[in-house]
Every structure is written in C-alpha cells, then in structure tokens.
Amino acid sequence: MTPVILVGWAAALVGTVLGLPQMIRLARTRNVEGLSLPAWQVILGLNIGWTSHGVILGQLNLILPNVLGLASTLPILFLMSRELGRPLPKVLLPGILLGIGMIATDVIFGTAVYGMVALWPAFFATVGQTLELIRSPRVAGVSPFFLIAGVLNQALWLWWGSLVVDAGTMITATTTLGITSVNLVWWLLRQLGLRSFLVPTREEMRAFVRARTRDRSGV
C-alpha cells in the first residue's frame, strides 16, 4: 500500500468521524454556548462541494468522509435550529447554495481555481468558530475532541494533497490548518480562565444594571 493511499485513507477516517464528538455533545447537553451557526452552515456547503470534488478527481477518500460528514453536520444543524428557535429550511439553505456554487466553480474553472475559491468558505467557517470562542461568555457547548480532530484532519489533508500534487487540497488545507490550530489553543486558554472579549459576562451585565438602577434612584 502506497503512502498516498495510507495518508488519504487516514485523512478520510478522521474526516468521517470529525463531527461526531460535537454532535454527541450537542445531543446530550442541548448546549449551544460557543457554537457558531454560520460556521456549521458553511461546513454543510463544504461537505457538498468536496464530495463533488472527490467525484471529479475519482478519489473515494474525498467522497466518503464528506458524504458521511453530512450524517453529523445535518443533525447538528437540526439541533441548533431547534435550540435557537429558527426554521430548519432557512438554516439549511445557505449551506446548500454554497455547495452548489462550489460545484459550479469546480466544473467550470478546474481544481486550482476551485482550491482558491474553496479556501474562503473553509476560512470563514473556522474563523466563525474562532469568533464564538473569543466572544461567547461560555464555551461549554464546544467539544474539545471536535477541535482536536479538526487540526489532525487538516494536517492529514495537507500531507495527502502534497503527495498527489492537488493544488485545491493544498491551498485549502494549509490555511484551514492554521485557523483550526488557533481554535484549539483558544479553547484551551478559555478553559484555563481566559475571559471572553467584546461581549460582557452576565456578572458584568448585572453590575451594570445595578449601577444604572442606583443612578436613576439617586442613591
């Protein structure tokens, strides 16, 4: 078995189970604190787009993880739509449209252009999660195993892309690996006591309300 096959299927295996820890955590706790809905909408589009890219390249190790990835992405979006009180069709529509756009780009312009275009959804998905980790008062809804698997997955895809010399995979995986690594480090810092930025905590809001009440009462 060649290194290309070994690395490709290792990446496929990690990609297949990537969303399961987050799905299990969300199904068990119903806690969406720290989770980014736009990020998971983009992940839906990426699952669709990269499945098609795998079909075009004839690479089963690209097709399989993204098809099976839908088995966790769709339940996560369903659970988030229910917990956030948003209609499921409206939650799914952006990801579906993104996937269609990615397929059209791949078919019309080829793999190099596809890689440069696919880079941006992957970038916004991971950055969207970064922003939630930074600004959410709590991050109890985020699975650390999902973050770890994300870093490993992108490292393996970068290795595989360099072996098969697929520009689309290398361009996307390089950038996404950097951001997923930042997400994991930031989650660890939050666990060590780093507070959220940009958004006040509940305690700060309560103190603010008490101060405003005292000012109005003249006490």
Is residue 196 helix, strand or coil? coil
* The pLDDT value given to residue 203: 53
What is the residue whose two structure tokens read 């290792």?
10
* The pLDDT value given to residue 217: 59
Nearest to 183 by CA among 131, 124, 137, 118: 131
- Cα separation, 57 vs 33, in Å, equals 38
* The pLDDT value given to residue 202: 52
The answer to whether the beta carbons of residues 197 and 130 sit under 8 Å apart is no
- Cα separation, 67 vs 71, in Å, equals 7
* The pLDDT value given to residue 207: 58
The answer to whether the beta carbons of residues 80 and 32 sit under 8 Å apart is yes
**Could you tell me the residue ranges of all domains in the chain?**
3-217
- Cα separation, 186 vs 124, in Å, equals 17
Provide the residue-wise pLDDT of the chain in tens; the chain has 219 residues: 688 888 888 887 887 788 889 999 999 998 988 889 999 999 999 999 999 999 998 988 788 888 888 989 999 999 999 999 999 999 999 999 999 999 999 999 988 888 788 878 878 888 888 888 888 888 888 999 889 998 998 999 899 888 988 887 788 788 889 889 999 999 999 888 888 775 555 555 565 456 556 656 554
pTM for this predicted structure: 0.76
* The pLDDT value given to residue 125: 84
* The pLDDT value given to residue 170: 85
